[in-house]
Structure 1
Amino acid sequence: MPPTSGTGGTAHFRDWPSLRRLLGRLPGGVLFLLSPVLLLLAPVVGLYRLARSARRVAWRLFLRGAGSATVHDPGVARVKRLRTCAAIAASVADVVAFGSVQDIRESLSDRWGALLSTPWLLVVGAPVVFMVLVWCASPSRRPAMWAATRASLRQLGLFVGTLLFIVVLVVGWSVSDPSRLGGSVGTWLSMAFLVGVVWAVFMFLFASAAVARTGFGAAAVHPAAPPVLAIFLVWAFAATAKLPSGPTPIAYALLVGGPATVTAIACWEIHRLRTRFGVRLRGG
């Protein structure tokens, strides 16, 4: 494998604080006074615990070990952060200057849609990118790349499994309807399935964010795979995105400017992989 920069090893995981840790910081008297409020917030507390558990499982399945194959370039990372901040600022300025409340809702809806559709676009694009990169690589490197591709396909199967898990739990929830089963058994069974559905939905959302970040472990197949996939994703989103608010020149500049800047940064990243880390599309 080509040399890497950065810490290497497994990806660092920052777990959300537990409720005991959060509440343990409060004095006993404050906890006593807040106890009625905490009882009212019991559903929110339950959702927090479910989300925290689902996030931990998603990290184990899709992110643990991802950092070991990634070439970390501080310069590229810094430019990417600046580009992200600039894109957010430009989007907010466009909505504030030319948009309406409905435009804000559509923008937020598009963000959620992008998060949920990214994994499925990767399902389509990643195998093609992997095969091209394997074909371009030297024969000596292809066996290791094919092995990494199989690991990526396993992650793909796990991701599809998270969606199927939701379907199974929803079917179980509908079958365990207390009106059908009757008695307390049906009620408790229905509640258990409902909790399972909520947990599985959280799991699917965190898994979507994870695979959008790693591209199903694309860096393990080839360090240049993530920037190539980034180019594919941004232009796929641009092809289906709505025209932003504002005058036509500004709207088209925002629509095309985002993918264009991502493409430029990705090409620069590939160039730095070749010149600084010796990573080539063909050869060692």
Structure 2
Amino acid sequence: MSFGGPGNPYQPPYQPPPSNPYQPPPANPYPPPPPNYGPYVPPPPYPNPYPPYVPQPRPYVPQGGLLGGLRGAEWPPLRDLLRGLRQRVHGCAWVLLLVPCTWFVVPGLMVAYVFARSARVRAHRLFPPRAHRLFHDPQVTRLQKARALSAAAMTLALLIAYGKPEDFGEAQEQYLMRLVVTPPLLLLSAPVVIAVLFRWAPPHARPHMRQRVRAAGRAALWYVGAVTAIPLITGLVVLLEREGLSTPDVPWFTVVLMVPLFWLLFFLAFATGPAVRSGFNSAEVHAALPALLTGVLVWEFAIISLAAGGPPPGPPVISVLAFVGGPASVCAVAWWEIHRLQTRHGVRLRG
């Protein structure tokens, strides 16, 4: 029995001949690590397959409803407002715009919004809504609110206890009279108080105050010009309608005059509140000027109310206390505010 041979099925498997011990070793299949690579060195950056995120501009969407969104610091342009309302208002509401009776209302509202936005931007540029105090003091604000609520409660208590039915009507008339009288009275009182404060101020602070007085004066002139122009334009429109009824150009002149009239009315509506609260930007002139103006105006209002409606109702002692107590409490809060400005922020009244 023989083993081996080409037909032997039990031959050992083929083995390659042994390698030459003098040949060089094969190449290293593992490349060396990059330089300066270790546990504290970040790996090389890899290309990002995704493009960077670029936020797209979104249309204006009023938050908290239409009135809540327009109550903010800035009104959007009409195009952005309509684009935002298109996403919030139901489609059935837009169908109503196709009704012929609304064709004259919607364009009027759009034009009114454009006029109101333009006047509001100008009014808030001249009289910023939150510029009535140069230094915000929460304790002073809380005390002012508490004094205002207590004064309203005392006035109501006096009217209920000692007042007559006609006294309630007089109280409402005096409140409306104060709203009308406050802007012109403030325009007359502010220069006097500013002159006294300018006299008290140290010499090194007067150039800065003089520059601020000029800026506040320009804003006040805008307000005075608007108040003066409204009756002049109204009188001119009435005169044209009375004297020129036969002239065909009178309606066109009336329309031309009504355009600035509506703009001025919107301007006064948005500028009166911030102008009165800030004393026509008096805080920019001096930090203590709003408190001084408040102390002066409250006594002027008391004298005007006494001359127009008489003393408060009640016995003589209570009437005198009610007449003196209101302005005195306002002056006390104003002087406490000035004291805090002096101790906390270094504001000086005298040089």
Instruction: Give the TM-score taking structure 1 as reference length.
Output: 0.77
Residue 108 of structure 1 corresponds to 172
Distance in 1 (alpha carbons) for counterparts of 2:317 and 2:216: 41
Q: Which of 120, 133, 142 matches 2:184?
A: 120
Q: Which of 185, 188, 206 matches 1:142?
A: 206
Residue 157 of structure 1 corresponds to 221
Deviation at 1:268, TM superposition (A): 0.2
TM-aligned CA distance change 1:188 to 1:85, over 3 Å: farther
Q: Which of 106, 123, 144 matches 1:58?
A: 123
- Contact in 2 for aligned 1:13/1:59 (Cα 8 Å): no
Given the alignment of the two structures, is residue 27 of structure 1 paired with residue 95 of structure 2, yes or no?
no
Residue 14 of structure 1 corresponds to 73
Distance in 2 (alpha carbons) for counterparts of 1:34 and 1:246: 59
In the alignment, structure 2 segments of 5+ residues that lack a partner are 1-70
TM-aligned CA distance change 1:253 to 1:56, over 3 Å: farther
Superposed CA offset, 1:136-183 (max 9, x none): 222111111111122222222222111222133223312432871547
Residue 266 of structure 1 corresponds to 334
Range with greater deviation from structure 2 (229-238 or 191-200)? 191-200
Distance in 2 (alpha carbons) for counterparts of 1:48 and 1:82: 38
Aligned residues: 270
TM-aligned CA distance change 1:177 to 1:22, over 3 Å: farther
Q: Which of 273, 283, 294 matches 1:219?
A: 283
Distance in 1 (alpha carbons) for counterparts of 2:109 and 2:156: 32
Distance in 2 (alpha carbons) for counterparts of 1:158 and 1:126: 16
Range with greater deviation from structure 2 (199-208 or 79-88)? 199-208
Larger Rg: 2
Amino acid of the structure 2 residue aligned with 1:143:
P
In the alignment, structure 1 segments of 5+ residues that lack a partner are 1-11
Range with greater deviation from structure 2 (51-60 or 148-157)? 51-60
Deviation at 1:218, TM superposition (A): 1.2
Superposed CA offset, 1:76-122 (max 9, x none): 11111222222233334444555466434332332232122222222
TM-aligned CA distance change 1:186 to 1:215, over 3 Å: same
TM-aligned CA distance change 1:65 to 1:77, over 3 Å: closer
Distance in 1 (alpha carbons) for counterparts of 2:86 and 2:250: 35
Q: Which of 297, 301, 310 matches 1:237?
A: 301
Range with greater deviation from structure 2 (202-211 or 114-123)? 202-211
Partner of 1:63: helix, strand, or coil? coil
Superposed CA offset, 1:226-273 (max 9, x none): 111110000011011132344444443332222111100001001101
Distance in 1 (alpha carbons) for counterparts of 2:90 and 2:348: 59
Partner of 1:66: helix, strand, or coil? coil
- Contact in 2 for aligned 1:134/1:145 (Cα 8 Å): yes
Deviation at 1:62, TM superposition (A): 2.3
- Contact in 2 for aligned 1:234/1:259 (Cα 8 Å): yes
TM-aligned CA distance change 1:33 to 1:106, over 3 Å: farther
CA RMSD across the alignment: 3.7
- Contact in 1 for aligned 2:129/2:274 (Cα 8 Å): no
- Contact in 1 for aligned 2:162/2:313 (Cα 8 Å): yes
- Contact in 2 for aligned 1:115/1:208 (Cα 8 Å): no
Q: Which of 167, 172, 194 matches 1:130?
A: 194
TM-aligned CA distance change 1:220 to 1:25, over 3 Å: same
Amino acid of the structure 1 residue aligned with 2:91:
G
Residue 170 of structure 1 corresponds to 234
- Contact in 1 for aligned 2:312/2:322 (Cα 8 Å): yes
Q: Percent identity?
A: 37
Partner of 1:281: helix, strand, or coil? coil
TM-aligned CA distance change 1:191 to 1:264, over 3 Å: same
What does residue range 64-103 of structure 1 map to in structure 2 within 5 Å?
66=131, 70-99=134-163, 102-103=166-167
Residue 15 of structure 2 corresponds to none
Point out the structure with the larger helix share: 1
Range with greater deviation from structure 2 (124-133 or 185-194)? 185-194
Superposed CA offset, 1:197-220 (max 9, x none): 344234334433332111122112
- Contact in 2 for aligned 1:95/1:245 (Cα 8 Å): yes
- Contact in 2 for aligned 1:178/1:187 (Cα 8 Å): no
